[in-house]
């Protein structure tokens, strides 16, 4: 295997580990929200946006926090 192939594989593994760390951080964050008695629907929408859909835009996060409907400024 060439050195270039090795670098590519290493970068791919590093990217996978970064995603795992992100999921762990988001899971811990969502657990903390549960502990603080944040509304279950809000936590579920955030879980769907952050972990399932991996959507991090401001619009997506506002929709998760405030629910579907008009954008809140």
What is the C-alpha to C-alpha distance for residues 8 and 35, in angstroms, rounded to an integer?
41
Q: Provide, for the chain, the percentages of residues in helix, strand and coil under a 3-state DSSP scheme, each rounded to the nearest 5.
A: 75, 0, 25
Does 37 map to a domain?
Answer: yes
Does 72 map to a domain?
Answer: no
For residues 64 and 49, the answer to whether their CB atoms sit within 8 Å is yes
Using pLDDT thresholds of 50, 70 and 90, give the confidence band for residue 71: very low
Does 30 map to a domain?
Answer: yes
What pLDDT, in 10s, does the model give residues 30-62?
999 999 999 999 999 999 999 999 999 999 999
pTM beyond 0.75, yes or no:
no
The domain in which residue 13 lies consists of 3-66
Using pLDDT thresholds of 50, 70 and 90, give the confidence band for residue 1: very low
Does 73 map to a domain?
Answer: no
Tell me what pLDDT residue 68 has: 75
Q: How many domains does the chain have?
A: 1
């Amino acid at each position: 295997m060439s050195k270039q192939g090795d670098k590519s594989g290493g970068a791919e593994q590093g990217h996978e580990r970064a995603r795992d760390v992100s999921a762990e951080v988001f899971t811990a964050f969502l657990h903390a929200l549960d502990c603080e008695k944040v509304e279950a629907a809000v936590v579920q929408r955030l879980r769907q946006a952050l972990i399932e859909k991996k959507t991090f835009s401001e619009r997506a996060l506002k929709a998760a926090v405030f629910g579907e409907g008009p954008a809140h400024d």
